């Protein structure tokens, strides 16, 4: 097993190699570690590389495979975004506030992967507390796009997306609050899936905006996304927002004909500001669906154009409440060199949080404050209900909605850091799915200026099977998923 082969190696292919004994998990893990040692200095996708743990888990996986008790993820190296708890392994959220934090428990998704014999290769870099669209807000270092080292990989799951695209792991888990799986997947030319809110447990995911956060896979193709979702989906009594349901085999939807399925194309997602090459690539992708027998027609989602305004009231408000726990007393960074308790609390938060986190805490605190709650937060919740109803009505007519994932391809590092509004606009097409709580996926659909373009598919609540069916049909009819960056 050579490190050069890792960028094109999928979960399914890796599982076949391990099952046929053509390679061992130890060999595969060492190949991935060698790949990391070669390219990580350029990409900077990892906050922590768990080399010793990975080798130990690989040995255990080989023993499990030898007994014939292997799962499709057994022995396969993966990365977790560094806002998912890993017992005894630092979980920093790429923040100085949690730089030395060692969780005493595993997140539910972590445990479910470990139960299947997965190999943790390390923790992925992110925008601090998942607040950002470029992974430039990490307190430690920015991550670079594998397709062009001067470009951002997207965010906030930029580390996981870049690691998968660069071959530094076989798959990864990210979190998506307003597009933080799909947007970096688009920028890095891979597949990113945000499940229905409540399908995957949030227990052990460090909270940003609790009514929006959702964990999902970042993979090299749609098949891998379905395989990973099979393991991480399902009810969890530790998470009060987790949906009780019988987890289907999501891979069963792959390969089914899409003839007769109805796809809506909302005109509000093809407006001025969308890069022409992105618009053209998505229009070509839409014609692929038509050629495969799907029925395509234009529709309108006028209220979803307010999703960004709604998001930037609700998400900061929930962040303001969730991040109040970082007071320098319970855990995390503490500014102890002050005389009074309130001074210590103030200095802890001044030094521990970065500029973007502080900005969102202040936005949220303002929206929740006396005299402004009704004008902002309550009104945002009412518009959120309208957006949900609008999607419900759309799915009465259509099986899926197709849009660009992002308005542009990956932008240059530093290009938008001084203009928060321009940075926020990168998620304008992905935020509505979080507001409505519906599943959405980004798949590669083209290349412009040497950089990948993403196609977004959205379906109704709990309709991940249709989502994967459509994404797989498109993927198999094209070859964009076979393109890899040359590093």
Cα gap 444→479, rounded to integer Å: 9
Phi-psi region of 409 (alpha: psi -120 to 50; beta: other; left: phi over 0): beta
Q: What is the mean pLDDT of the chain?
A: 96
| Averaged pLDDT for residues 362-387 | 95
Q: Which of 81, 111, 123, 194 is catalytic?
A: 81
1-487: which CATH topology? Amidase signature (AS) enzymes (3.90.1300)
pLDDT digits (tens, 9 = 90+) for 426-481: 899 999 999 999 999 999 999 999 999 999 999 999 999 999 999 999 999 999 99
Taking alpha carbons only, the member of 217, 176, 175 closest to residue 72 is: 217
pLDDT at residue number 77: 98
Residues in the chain: 487
Per-residue pLDDT band for 2 (boundaries 50, 70, 90) equals low
User: Would the pLDDT of 85 be above 90?
Assistant: yes
Tokens of 273: 């500001």
Query: For 223-233, what is the mean pLDDT?
Result: 98
pLDDT at 438: 98
Mean pLDDT along residues 69-85: 97
Over range 67-87, report the average pLDDT: 97
Mean predicted confidence (pLDDT) in 384-402: 98
Residue 48: helix, strand or coil by DSSP?
A: strand
Q: Does 275 have pLDDT greater than 90? A: yes
pLDDT, tens digit (0-9, with 9 covering 90-100), for 198-222: 999 999 999 999 999 999 999 999 9
How far the first Cα of the chain sits from its last, in Å, is 18
3-state secondary structure of 300: coil
Mean pLDDT of 89-113: 97
Per-residue pLDDT, averaged over 23-32, amounts to: 97
Buried b (16+ CB within 10 A) or exposed e, 258-293: beebebbbbebbbeeebbebbbebbeebbebbeebe
Please state the rounded mean pLDDT for residues 146-169.
98
Q: How confident is the model at residue 3 (pLDDT cuts 50, 70, 90)?
A: low
Q: Answer whether 18's CB lies under 8 Å from 28's CB.
A: yes
- Is 267 an annotated catalytic residue? no
pTM for the whole thing?
Answer: 0.97
Domain ranges (residues) in the chain: 1-487
Average pLDDT for 64-86:
97
Residue 448: the pLDDT is 97
The whole-number average pLDDT for the span 267-277 is: 92
Catalytic residue among 25, 133, 138, 156: 156
Strands of the sheet with 400-404, listed across from one edge: 46-49, 119-124, 77-81, 171-176, 214-219, 191-194, 440-448, 451-458, 400-404, 262-266, 295-299
Whether 242 is catalytic: no
pLDDT higher than threshold 70 for residue 137: yes
- 180 is a catalytic site residue: yes
Q: What is the pLDDT of residue 344?
A: 82
Query: pLDDT digits over 340-349, tens only?
Result: 778 888 889 9
Is the preceding omega at residue 14 within 30 degrees of 0, hence cis? Answer: no
Instruction: Kindly tell me if the per-residue pLDDT of 314 is higher than 70.
Output: yes
CA 368, 82, 178, 154 dihedral sign is positive
């Amino acid at each position: 097993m050579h490190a050069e082969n890792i960028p094109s190696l999928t979960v399914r292919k890796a599982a076949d190699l391990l099952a046929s004994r053509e390679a061992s998990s130890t060999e595969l893990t060492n190949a991935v570690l060698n790949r990391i040692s070669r390219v990580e200095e350029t990409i900077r996708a990892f906050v922590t590389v768990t080399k010793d743990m990975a080798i130990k888990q690989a040995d255990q996986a080989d023993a499990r495979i030898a007994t014939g008790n292997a799962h499709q993820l057994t022995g396969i190296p993966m990365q977790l975004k560094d806002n998912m708890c890993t017992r005894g392994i630092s979980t920093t959220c790429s923040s100085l506030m949690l730089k030395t934090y060692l969780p005493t428990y595993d997140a539910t998704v972590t445990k479910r992967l470990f139960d299947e014999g997965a190999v943790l290769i390390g923790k992925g870099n992110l925008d601090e507390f998942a607040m950002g669209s470029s992974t430039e807000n990490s307190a430690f270092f920015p991550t670079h796009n594998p397709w062009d080292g001067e470009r951002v990989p997207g965010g906030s799951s930029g580390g996981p997306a870049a690691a998968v695209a660069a071959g530094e792991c076989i798959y990864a888990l990210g979190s998506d609050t307003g597009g933080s799986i799909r947007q970096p997947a688009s920028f890095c030319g891979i597949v990113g899936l945000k499940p229905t809110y409540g399908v995957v447990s949030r227990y052990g995911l460090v909270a940003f905006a609790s009514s929006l956060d959702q964990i999902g896979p970042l993979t090299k193709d749609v098949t891998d996304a379905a395989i990973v979702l099979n393991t991480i989906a399902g009810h969890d009594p530790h998470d009060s927002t987790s949906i009780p349901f019988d987890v289907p085999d999501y891979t069963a939807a792959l390969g089914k004909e899409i003839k007769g399925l109805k796809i809506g194309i909302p005109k509000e997602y093809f407006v001025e500001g969308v890069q022409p090459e992105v618009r053209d690539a998505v229009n070509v992708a839409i014609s692929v669906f038509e050629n495969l027998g799907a029925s395509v027609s234009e529709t309108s989602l006028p209220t979803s154009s307010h999703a960004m305004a709604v998001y930037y009231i609700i998400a900061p408000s929930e962040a303001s409440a969730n991040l109040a726990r970082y007071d320098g007393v319970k855990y995390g960074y503490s500014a102890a060199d002050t005389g009074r308790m309130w001074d210590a609390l103030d200095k802890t938060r001044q030094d521990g949080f970065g500029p973007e986190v502080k900005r969102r805490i202040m936005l949220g605190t303002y929206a929740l404050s006396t005299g402004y709650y009704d004008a902002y937060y309550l009104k945002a919740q009412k518009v959120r209900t309208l957006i949900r109803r609008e999607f419900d009505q759309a799915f009465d007519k259509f099986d899926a909605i197709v849009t660009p994932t992002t308005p542009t391809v990956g932008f240059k590092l530093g290009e938008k850091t001084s203009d928060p509004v321009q940075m926020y606009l990168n998620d304008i097409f992905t935020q509505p799915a979080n507001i409505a709580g519906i599943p959405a996926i980004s798949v590669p659909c083209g290349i412009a200026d040497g950089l990948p373009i993403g196609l977004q598919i959205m379906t109704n609540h709990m309709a991940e099977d249709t989502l994967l069916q459509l994404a797989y049909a498109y993927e198999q009819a094209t070859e964009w998923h076979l393109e890899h960056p040359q590093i």
